[in-house]
Amino acid sequence: MKNILIPVDFSNYSLSAAKTAVAIAKKSGSNLHLLHIADIPVGWSKQPVTQMQNYPQLESRLVEAEMRLEKFSKLPIFKDHRPAIHVEGGVPFEQINIFARRDKITLIVMGVHGAGDSDLKFIGSTAQRVIRTAPCPVLGVKRSFNFGNIKKILFASDFEENVSTPVSIVKNLAEDFAANIDLAYINTPGHFVDDVTTETRMKQFIISQKRVKFHTVIQNSPEKEQGILDCAKRRNADLIAMVTHLRKQKPSYLVSVTESVIFHSKLPVLSFVIDEARHLIK
C-alpha cells in the first residue's frame, strides 16, 4: 500500500479516515494523497489563468477549496507524513476513481455513514459507488472510529472463487501491524457447506510465513451479514476484509453483503472489487 488516497469533504468522516490512513502510513511507509472534489467543472484546475479570470466565481471556488485543503493538510496528525493535496471538479465518485487509476493509488481510505449516524439509513452515495467501482481496495471508516493497533483481521469469504490476491494484500497489511488473520466462512441455511469442504477451501489460501498466523473459522448464522458481524465480535477482530463483486449497473437500493456489513459494523471494513470474470480489478 504505497499510495493511499483520502477523499476529503472536510467532515468528521474525512478526519477519521485521515487518522486511519496516517496510522497505516506509519507502519507501511505509504505516501498520502488528499483529494477534494470542488463544485467546479471537470478539469477546471488545469485551465490557464487567463481562462479562469473570465469566470471569477469558479476561480474563487477553486482558490477557496485549495486553501481549505492546504489548511487540512497541516493538521497535527500529518506532522510526520506531509500529504500531497489535489483539488478536482466533477462527480465525486467518478473523480475519485479516475484519480486512483491515474496516480496508481493502492488504497482508498474514506469515511462512511453508519447505523448510529442520526436517521441515515445507509452509507453515503459517494462511498457506496466508490466501494462498488474502485480500481483498488477501499477501507471504509466510521466517523467515531479511533484507530488503534490492528492485532487481528477477519477475512470473510465463501472461498469458492480465487481470492489469492485479496488475501495476499491483507497478509501484507497484517505484516505491517504484526497482526494475525482469521479466514472466516459463514454457514447459512440457504448456502450450507460441510466443515470438511469449507476447511479445505480455506486452507488453499493460507500463505505460509512466520510473521503472520492464519486461523480458519466457521460461523453458523441465519444470515451472512449478521454472521460476519457476530464472527468479528467473537474473534475480537480489529478490521474486517471482504470481497465485493462488480455492481456498476446495480441500483443503489440493491444492497450487497459488503455494503450492509460496512453500514452496521463498528469496525473499519476493507473491500476488494472483483468483476464477473472473478478477477480483482486492477
Provide the 8-state DSSP code for 83.
Answer: P
CA distances from 167 to 130, 143, 174, 270 (A): 21, 27, 10, 11
C-alpha cell at 22: 496516517
How far apart are alpha carbons 219 and 256 in whole angstroms?
Answer: 19
Asked whether the predicted pLDDT for residue 282 surpasses 50, the reply is: no
pLDDT in tens, 159-194: 988 899 999 999 999 999 999 999 999 999 988 899
- The answer to whether the Cα torsion of 99, 100, 104, 105 is positive or negative is positive
Question: How do the domains of the chain map onto residue ranges?
Answer: 3-142, 152-274
Q: Which residue has the cell 488475501?
A: 167
Q: What is the pLDDT of residue 137?
A: 95
CB atoms within 10 A of CB 69: 20
Q: Which residues of 224-252 are buried (b: 16+ CB within 10 A; e: fewer)?
A: bbbbbbebbeebebbbbbbbbbbbeeeee
Confidence of residue 50 (pLDDT cuts 50, 70, 90): confident
The CATH class of 152-274 is alpha beta
Q: Which residues of 123-160 are buried (b: 16+ CB within 10 A; e: fewer)?
A: bbebbbbbbbbbbbbbbbbbbebebeebebbbbbbbbe
Direct distance between the N- and C-terminal alpha carbons of the chain, in angstroms, rounded to an integer: 14
pLDDT in tens, 228-270: 999 999 999 999 999 987 555 565 556 788 889 988 898 999 9
How far apart are alpha carbons 273 and 132 in whole angstroms?
Answer: 7
Domain 3-142 = CATH 1.10.10.10: no
Q: Which of 37-51, 55-69, 115-129 has the highest mean pLDDT?
A: 55-69
Whole-prediction pTM value? 0.89
